[in-house]
Amino acid sequence: MCCKFENNFYKILFLCSFMRYSILAETYERLEATPKKLEKADVLAELYTKCKKEELALVVRLSQGYLGFDLGIARQMIKEVVKKAYGVSDSEVMHKFKETGDLGSVAEYFDKHRKQRSLAHKELSAEHVYETLRKLPSLSGGGSVERKIFSVAELLSNASPLEARYIVRTVLGELRMGVAAGIIRDAIAKAFSQDVKELERTFDFLGDYGKVAEQAASGKLKAEIEVGRPVRVMLADRSPGLREALEAFENPALELKYDGFRMAIHKEGNEIWLYSRRNENVTKQFPEIVELARKHLNARECIVEGEVLAVDADRKPLPFQRLSRRIQRKHDIEKMAKEIPVQMNFFDIIYLNGKNLMHEKLRTRWELLKKMVREVKGKFQLAEHLETKNLREAEKFYRYSLNQRQEGLIVKNLEAVYQPGKRVGYWLKVKPILEPLDLVVVGAEWGEGKRARWLGSLHLACKGNKEHGKFLETGKMGSGLSEEQMEVLTKKLRPLILEEHGKNVKLKPLVVVEIGYEEIQRSPKYPTGFALRFPRLLRIRDPEDKGPEDVNTLGDVERFFKIQKRASGKGKVQKAK
């Protein structure tokens, strides 16, 4: 293995005039050591001022830990990389990983303790590390996993222990330095004496702090749209209810809040680019949308936005999970496009034939969009849109959206401009707070003291997916039951006891309960991988109404988890009002 790397050595662009990667690694270590944001910005500013013009953007991206695209390397693959680079076994890697919980530190450890270092070993440049990582997603087809492993292992074989730590973390997208976008922005401002607000505005148009830094260094910030280059998208705020959202605007437009994936389509002649909400280029994954956009967007140049849904053969929306398979897929794309067809629902236009439309009112943009999109029903169409201030009509539309298995409504101000990258209250999302779950009781615990004669602490399970068998535990309701409820439950549950171990009883899964909760959290404690926060008993279901066959599935729990994450943008759901 080492020889192979040595043969390749001369192909690798080392040191030369580019910044050494070790300078970045040392900077990362300093950043990790300080919790202070101001200090972090100072440390980064110092790094940026050391960069040459041609390497500034890549150094900024590397220091951000997100290169602007998914590298397509799973954690498991990194374990293989470490094994290959240092000639260690699976169990050695696992052992160290259990100790540190960080594959970066695992690589650093083996690097430090490696038996031999190649004589041809020379220092890595930041540019070489960046270029190697940049090429990873384009390695596809047969043997691509091995080639990816080889590429990263090759980097590690030439890395110092500290460099190895950060190369691995960069590949995993977890630099762990506490450097958010705001710190990068402040560092650029400091390094090149620029105004923070101006930098932010430029970022909204460029969508990449690497490019922003280049412009900042040249002294000319240009907040301009360019077809083919992603723009940061406008965001929605949450409204407490439909009535409040309608009252917020003099002239509201209501649209279905589709449960899909936001996509911007850029068109310049025959050239099409598709970007995700996070500005990842997803053009390759959706060839049928590229084709439709070429034929059915009636403009020489434009940037339009909408939500993509996965649909079944009857063009009925499917759960988001199906769509995410399309997004992640990098090969056999045509086959996948047939298996999981999609539907584009347009809701905005921000650029048309050389004109930036962001300063136009939504009313005008929507009219232009209607003229621009030649609809192909079920495939390539305008979002369902209703202009009303009437609560009854709005409620009907809201229910219609939920019946269509969509998330609710977005209520938009028809008089508002488009604000890239911002939540400024021009769009309000209205969606239900989390629905309760119907779960089956699969176990319980005898109480203590006064409560010893009652079964409490219910072990709750949802229906597993096919591969998991029947029921899967997803939480425990430890407290909050009244004595009366415990009395009723004990009566129902006692005849169902299958096994007793101390206080714990295992039950035949027959009793179904409706459970309200504050939040669904990820949890390794339960086989579903999810737990309920503050579960509370809403009612014991009548078996005629709901039996164990009717309880919610693991798929439902995952879906609710996702909805809640999106509702808050951070993973915490707003409290029920």
Helices (H) and strands (E) in the chain, counts: 21, 20
Q: Compute φ and ψ for 438, nearest 5 degrees.
A: -95, 120
Q: State the nearest-atom distance from the C-beta of 462 to ligand AMP, in Å.
A: 24
Q: Does 566 bind ligand AMP (CB under 6 A)?
A: yes
Least distance (Å) between residue 240 CB and ligand AMP: 14
* Cα 251 to Cα 136, 245, 247, 353, 390, distances in angstroms: 48, 11, 9, 28, 11
Q: Which residues in 377-436 contact ligand AMP (CB under 6 A)?
A: 383, 410, 429
Among residues 14, 347, 366, 517, the one that binds ligand AMP under rule CB under 6 A: 347
Which residues, 426 to 485, sit near ligand AMP by CB under 6 A?
Answer: 429
258 touches ligand AMP by CB under 6 A: yes
Residues 6 or more apart in contact with residue 418 via CB below 8 angstroms: 234, 348, 350, 357, 358, 359, 360, 362, 365
Q: Does 323 interact with ligand AMP (rule: CB under 6 A)?
A: no
> What SS3 state is found at 455?
strand
Residue 234 CB, shortest distance to ligand AMP, in Å, is 8
Question: Among residues 154 and 255, whose Cβ is nearest to ligand AMP?
Answer: 255
CA distance linking residue 434 with residue 440, whole number of Å: 19
Which pairing describes strands 408-413 and 423-430: parallel, antiparallel, or unpaired? antiparallel
- Our answer to whether residue 257 is catalytic in this structure is yes
Q: How far apart are CA 527 and CA 371, in angstroms?
A: 51
Binding of ligand AMP by 111 (CB under 6 A): no
Residue placing its CB nearer to ligand AMP in the complex, 277 or 379: 277
Of 179 and 308, which CB lies nearer to ligand AMP in the complex structure?
308
Q: Which one of 190, 211, 257, 429 is the catalytic residue?
A: 257
CA atoms within 13 A on the CB side of 225: 25
**What six digits make up the tokens of 397?**
């539309």
Q: Does 236 bind ligand AMP (CB under 6 A)?
A: yes
- Closest approach, Cβ 422 to ligand AMP, in A, equals 12
- Closer CB to ligand AMP, 383 or 486, in the complex: 383
Return the DSSP state at 552.
P
Distance CA 386, CA 401 (A): 12
- Among 121, 277, 284, 330, interactor with ligand AMP by CB under 6 A: 277
| Beta strands 423-430 and 235-238, pairing class | parallel
- CA–CA gap between residue 495 and residue 502 (Å, rounded): 17
Q: How far apart are CB 345 and ligand AMP at their closest, in Å?
A: 7
Residues 500-559 that bind ligand AMP (CB under 6 A): none
* Position among 108, 255, 514, 558 found at the interface with ligand AMP (CB under 6 A): 255
Positions touching ligand AMP (CB under 6 A) are 235-236, 255-258, 262, 277, 307, 347, 383, 410, 429, 566-567, 569
Residues marked active site are found at: 257
